[in-house]
Amino acid sequence: DQQVKQNSPSLSVQEGRISILNCDYTNSMFDYFLWYKKYPAEGPTFLISISSIKDKNEDGRFTVFLNKSAKHLSLHIVPSQPGDSAVYFCAASGSNYKLTFGKGTLLTVNP
């Protein structure tokens, strides 16, 4: 099941710089997209979401961009902080509201 894909298993950035995490999806019925952050031994923590009627949603240092025609979304974190180091999951849902997750991207922010 490859309906949600995160092609980069890992990303390393310097503190203070921008982190850009990418996600692609194939199911055109998805209309709600979410990013979760996960630390080891903890559950996914909701970070930010966007509905398909928007192309951008911003919350503090976190911005999600949605390109529906390309079936692509991205999460921008700026400025990146060492505490942002975690696995980031992209997830999507449609009318049945069940979440379909990507495999995750391990973000490492170096001091």
Site residues for another protein per CB under 8 A: 1, 31-32, 34, 36, 41-46, 49, 51, 89, 91, 96-104
Q: How far is the CB of 98 from another protein (least distance, A)?
A: 4
Nearer Cβ to another protein (91/109): 91
Nearer Cβ to another protein (25/36): 36
Residues 6 or more apart whose Cβ sits within 8 Å of residue 33: 23, 25, 49, 50, 51, 52, 64, 66, 73, 90, 91, 92
Q: What is the DSSP letter of 40?
A: T
Q: How far is the CB of 36 from another protein (least distance, A)?
A: 7
Q: State both tokens at 93.
A: 């849902």
Nearer Cβ to another protein (25/89): 89
Helix (H) and strand (E) counts in the chain: 0, 11
